[in-house]
Amino acid sequence: MKNDLCLKTDRRSGEAVKRALARAGILDRSRRIAPEGGCLLLPITAEPQGEALDSLSGLGAFEILHSGLPRPQVARPSLRALLEGGLPQGLMGMLPKSYDVLGSLILLEPLPDALAPYLQEIGEALLALNRGARTVLLKTGKVDGVFRVPSYALVAGEDRRDTVSTEYGVRLRVDVSKAYYSPRLGCERDRVASLVGDGETVVDMFAGVGPFSILIARRRRAKVYSIDINPDAIALLRENVALNKLRGEVVPILGDATEAAAPLAGVADRVIMNLPKSSLAFLDSALRVLKTGGGTIHLYVFTSGEPVRGALALLEGRAYPPGVSCSVERVRTVKEVAPKEYQVALDLRITSCAQKT
């Protein structure tokens, strides 16, 4: 029986929904995505259930329906198919099942040692599959240190680390050798930007090259103070401000988040704290930059085991300054960063803030 099952969603949510369907394994790649008015019809193989349904519900309204779509695309060969016969059969199951495409760069997570003699072949196959890509890089070190810059080694193609990536209509110049940037957080950045209203003042405490800040300022007449301790990140942020037509204003600030936030006491309606490894250490600084009446903090943390329960446990028993009331409006698992290790977003509503001093 011919499958004509589709998911209908708003165009603005289309990219995020497509990724969620792909992660759930129910995106039907044999049919084309089709526009319908201000919406998109995404072909699916089955109705979303369980965790997939929860994830999609957090991205906005959608509708499951039956609709004929354009004829199937010509299926692209898989990485495994391209390498068939070039790698020992026992290694085929070790090939990467996912990777990041960032502008002209393909970024691979660390691979099993057994694949090391075949990296060149793997890289060339990836370039053949992704015609817009020019470089394949392999991560060789963790995101660590004050500047959060991972190490990459060239696998195939041009020896470069910089590119321009497009995300939700925003162009971002990125150099993975100088500043941290993850395309996998695009859905989360879109979610937060959709919550910001015209006239808001936002403090982005760990702005990096500016993906949160610039997306917000592109969509809203908001003022965003964008802080980062990495001078290369701030330099790229300035370039990215110039690359995009903004409705609002982005103010780059080079410095440690605690020190740089001090002069901003009492200015913010909203604070973004995307430094999951140590964001809790800066929570008091975030509270101080909020307006006297309070506001929203988007706090990101790493946790293990059950992600939501683990994230909430990190806030249990925490003492807040006199006059400050904190409630958790939403908890969302952003991504799995390692087996049973997760990045989690907590939207905190802060009320009854005392006068800043």
Q: Which residue segments constitute the domains of the chain, with CATH numbers given?
A: 5-66 (3.30.70.2580), 79-160 (3.30.300.110), 180-351 (3.40.50.150)
Question: Tens of pLDDT along 107-124?
Answer: 999 999 999 999 999 999
Residue 76 pLDDT more than 90?
Answer: no
Q: What pLDDT, on the 0 to 100 scale, is given for residue 75?
A: 63
What's 212's DSSP letter? H
Question: Tens of pLDDT along 277-336?
Answer: 999 999 999 999 999 999 999 999 999 989 999 999 998 877 788 778 899 999 999 988
Task: List the end-to-end C-alpha distance of the chain, in Å, as a whole number.
Answer: 69
Mean per-residue pLDDT of the chain: 90
Other CB atoms within a 10 A radius of the CB of residue 244 amount to 16
Q: What pLDDT, on the 0 to 100 scale, is given for residue 184?
A: 87
Q: What pLDDT, on the 0 to 100 scale, is given for residue 56?
A: 84
Residue 221 pLDDT more than 50?
Answer: yes
List the structure tokens of 211: 């993906």
pLDDT band of residue 62 (cuts 50, 70, 90) is confident
Torsion of CA 161, 163, 167, 169, to 10 degrees: 170
Q: What percent of the chain has pLDDT above 70?
A: 96
pTM attached to this predicted model? 0.78
As a whole number of angstroms, the distance between CA 321 and CA 121 comes to 57
Long-range pairs, 80-86, Cβ under 8 A, ≥24: 82/125, 82/128, 82/129, 83/118, 83/121, 83/122, 83/125, 86/118, 86/121
Integer Rg of the chain from CA: 22
Question: Tens of pLDDT along 124-181?
Answer: 999 999 988 999 999 997 766 777 788 999 999 999 999 999 999 999 999 999 999 9
Beta-strand ranges (E) seen in 146-240 are 152-157, 162-167, 170-175, 201-204, 223-228
* Residue 25 to residues 18, 55, 195, 344, Cα–Cα distance (Å): 11, 13, 28, 22
